[in-house]
Amino acid sequence: MKELTQKDWQEKFQNDENGVLLDVRTEEEVEQGFIPKSKNIDIYMGQGFIDEVEKLDKSKNYYVYCRSGKRSAQACTLMDQLGFNKTYNLLGGFNEWQGEKTEV
């Protein structure tokens, strides 16, 4: 896992043809807005989160975010342990996101 500032995270994702946005927040949080094209898997699902993550393509690069950056850091660590090669945590999370957002 690499922890990246918002600017670095966004730039790296925009230039990564193999990148996937992963939102690990709850459904209620997602309903308040999200980064376009992100896939949501709630880390609070416990084993359900692991089951869903295991279905993802491990050869992709995952740009992971949550509300503040703590849960996404945990998700990145877990994904690394499951054999994912490249995970990038968004420092500050969605709370500090200044890029494009989709409001629900």
Q: Kindly report, residue by residue over 44-74, the tens digit of the pLDDT.
A: 999 999 999 999 999 999 999 999 999 999 9
Cβ-count burial of 94 within 10 angstroms (0-12 exposed, 13-18 middle, 19+ buried)? Answer: buried
* Overall number of domains in the chain: 1
CATH number at 74 reads: 3.40.250.10
Give the domain range for residue 70: 2-96
Please report whether residue 103 resides in a domain.
Answer: no
**101 lies in a domain?**
no
* pLDDT tens-digit series, residues 30-45: 999 999 999 999 999 9
* Domain presence at residue 102: no
Catalytic residues: 66
Strand partners, 88: 2, 63
